[in-house]
Structure 1
Amino acid sequence: MNISRQLQRLALNEDLNFLLTNRVPRAALTRFMGWFSRIRNPWVRDASMAVWRAFTELDLSEAKKTSFHSLHDCFVRELKPGVRPIDARADVMVSPCDAIVGACGRIGDDPTAQVFQAKGFPYPLTDLLGPDARALEMIDALRGGSYVTLRLTSSMYHHFHAPDSLTLEHVTFHCGDTWNVNPIALKRIEHLFCKNERAALYLRQDDGTPLLLVPVAAILVASMRLRAVDVALNAQYRGPHELPCNARYGKGQEMGWFEHGSTILVFTPPGFHLADSVDAGHRIRMGEPLLKRSPA
């Protein structure tokens, strides 16, 4: 077995992984990596990417660029045109990103609209979104609907796109922690998504149906960018947390990107169901079917 495989197996040890990625000064380490990843030095870049490759299955064959100025430049890479076909069927909502599907299913009918981050680890949408009027109105619309957890690993394409033709009406940025969001942490830290930095994207499809996407940041480069908001949303952000928008997107059009792997939570009201083969552990690519409208 080669060294890379041995390192990857070591990283999968649950106790060691949790210790190395969570029982550390997460905020300080995240700020450091945000600075370090942007260093434009060939030696630093090459050494960093060699370590990255040792722990992940990094594949750059689909990247638009063949060389990168820094580690950060590789993290936020764009893809070659056409490598992510978009399912154009009107009854299909596509995945907004490349991801591994995590917990998914039906949103609870209870007042808190309970969902799960992992088996046995529920969390209420009231904690995820907060108690303001906009959040409560959205929660009322989502009860009994569907949710999908999409985990982006560090080696994946980090941009996210509109799952359907829609309008981004409002963004609420929630400050928070930077816990790792991998399955190991999700089985140990209750209400993890409600603790981490996150942005609630309030969306509306062309027919008026409300949707919600919640990109959740994590340890290391905990920052996200939205095309409709010309600032980096991260621990250093000091602007308003309520950001009105009126940004129109076609299906598959880019909405923003993470500056490291993380998670996107997708919520729909009743009237949608999971697409065929979408289940926990399923690998999905941006543009592939994620949810479908249920027959009337």
Structure 2
Amino acid sequence: MLQQEDLNFLLTNRIPRIALTRLMGKFSQIRNPLLARASIAVWRLFTDLDLSDAKQQKFDSLHDCFTRELVAGARHVDMAENVLSSPCDAIVGACGRVVDEGKGRQLFQAKGFPYSMQDLFGPSQDTSAFQDGMFVTLRLTSAMYHRFHAPQDCTVEHVTHIAGDTWNVNAIALKRVERLFCRNERAVLRARLKSGETIAIVPVAAILVASLRLHFLDLLLHVDYRGANELACQASFKKGEEMGWFQHGSTILVFAPKGFILSPGIENGSRIQMGQALMQIPGAA
């Protein structure tokens, strides 16, 4: 098992990650139905890709398949007002309380590997709203549905783009690379719920995946993005409404303030779908 992990780590991280990510981005955009069909067939040999709930069944490019829409009703969104729903399909990684220690507000990417919220959010962001709050790490595999949605009625008020690397964010790398999420390309979306609380949604890029489309800014954030890093906005969303997508698959971290608790069944290793209850606000209507 150790030798397999070593080989996986070498193949996915000891390579020119950013160059390979750029190459994959160009390849995925080639519009050729035959090439797309052949590429998807190879992709299926290595993943559990399931397109049965895809709105479109034939694709002109790999990109179209990666960013596919679902048929209406394919996901059920928990509409309870006291529930923060999952923004995406995912496997739950580390989750729990944001620990306030001497080094600042800390959380874990894997057992025994802490990192600071300030390092993740960047020096421009105030993380005090999440002191003693709750976090959940949501890992998207390459085969999963890659669009993400509003977890509650909310208004996105600010986006911070932070340039970085494109390390693989699989379980093996999380055990070996300290502060991995703080090294990779990412965006910090600050949003205010209808009930007044502030939440944060942090999409993190990875190898082959350093592209993030945000509908409300009509902007594609990627490894070669050279625009403004601080992006003020005022974009309102209804719960379950689509916010954007990854070009492939990666990780989303969700942060909520003190008082939120994890919903039943949310624990390390759980597979969940977009719209499933992620956190709850005690005492809310």
- The residue that corresponds to 1:49 in the other structure is 40
Given the alignment of the two structures, is residue 115 of structure 1 paired with residue 115 of structure 2, yes or no? no
Q: For 1:113, what is the secondary structure of its paired residue?
A: strand
CA distance in 2, matches of 1:260, 1:166: 26
Deviation at 1:42, TM superposition (A): 3.1
The 5 Å alignment of 1:163-202 reads: 163-202=151-190
- The residue that corresponds to 2:92 in the other structure is 101
Given the alignment of the two structures, is residue 30 of structure 1 paired with residue 21 of structure 2, yes or no? yes
Deviation at 1:13, TM superposition (A): 2.8
Structure 1 unaligned regions, length at least 5: 1-9
CA distance in 2, matches of 1:199, 1:260: 16
Given the alignment of the two structures, is residue 284 of structure 1 paired with residue 272 of structure 2, yes or no? yes
Deviation at 1:44, TM superposition (A): 2.1
- Please, which of 74, 78, 92 is the counterpart of residue 69 of structure 2? 78
One-letter code of the match for 2:116? P
CA contact (8 A) 1:211 1:268 kept: yes
CA contact (8 A) 2:209 2:250 kept: no
CA distance in 2, matches of 1:18, 1:26: 12
Deviation at 1:223, TM superposition (A): 0.3
- The residue that corresponds to 1:21 in the other structure is 12
One-letter code of the match for 1:58? L
CA distance in 2, matches of 1:79, 1:222: 23
CA distance in 2, matches of 1:87, 1:13: 39
CA distance in 1, matches of 2:42, 2:10: 19
CA distance in 2, matches of 1:171, 1:83: 29
CA contact (8 A) 2:37 2:59 kept: no
CA distance in 1, matches of 2:32, 2:254: 38
- Please, which of 75, 78, 82 is the counterpart of residue 87 of structure 1? 78
CA distance in 1, matches of 2:153, 2:39: 38
- The residue that corresponds to 1:143 in the other structure is 131
- Please, which of 246, 252, 260 is the counterpart of residue 258 of structure 1? 246
CA distance in 2, matches of 1:91, 1:207: 10
Given the alignment of the two structures, is residue 269 of structure 1 paired with residue 257 of structure 2, yes or no? yes
- Please, which of 58, 61, 64 is the counterpart of residue 55 of structure 2? 64
- The residue that corresponds to 1:124 in the other structure is 116
Deviation at 1:38, TM superposition (A): 1.1
One-letter code of the match for 1:23? R
Q: For 1:255, what is the secondary structure of its paired residue?
A: strand
Deviation at 1:48, TM superposition (A): 1.3
One-letter code of the match for 1:277? G
Given the alignment of the two structures, is residue 154 of structure 1 paired with residue 146 of structure 2, yes or no? no
One-letter code of the match for 1:76? T
Deviation at 1:294, TM superposition (A): 2.2
CA distance in 1, matches of 2:240, 2:48: 25
One-letter code of the match for 1:181? V
CA distance in 1, matches of 2:239, 2:209: 28
Which deviations, in whole Å up to 9, do the C-alpha atoms of 1:208-235 show, x marking residues without a partner? Answer: 1000010000101310000111121001
- Moved beyond 6 Å, runs of 4+: none
Structure 2 unaligned regions, length at least 5: none
Percent identity among equivalent residues? 60
- TM-score w.r.t. length of structure 1: 0.93
Which deviations, in whole Å up to 9, do the C-alpha atoms of 1:88-127 show, x marking residues without a partner? Answer: 1111110000000000000012362100000000000011
Q: For 2:142, what is the secondary structure of its paired residue?
A: coil
CA contact (8 A) 1:31 1:221 kept: no
CA distance in 1, matches of 2:55, 2:4: 34
Which deviations, in whole Å up to 9, do the C-alpha atoms of 1:148-198 show, x marking residues without a partner? Answer: 000000000000000000000000000000000111100000000000000
- The residue that corresponds to 1:4 in the other structure is none
CA contact (8 A) 2:56 2:69 kept: yes
- Please, which of 208, 216, 220 is the counterpart of residue 232 of structure 1? 220
CA contact (8 A) 1:110 1:143 kept: no
- TM-score w.r.t. length of structure 2: 0.96
- Please, which of 31, 34, 39 is the counterpart of residue 30 of structure 2? 39
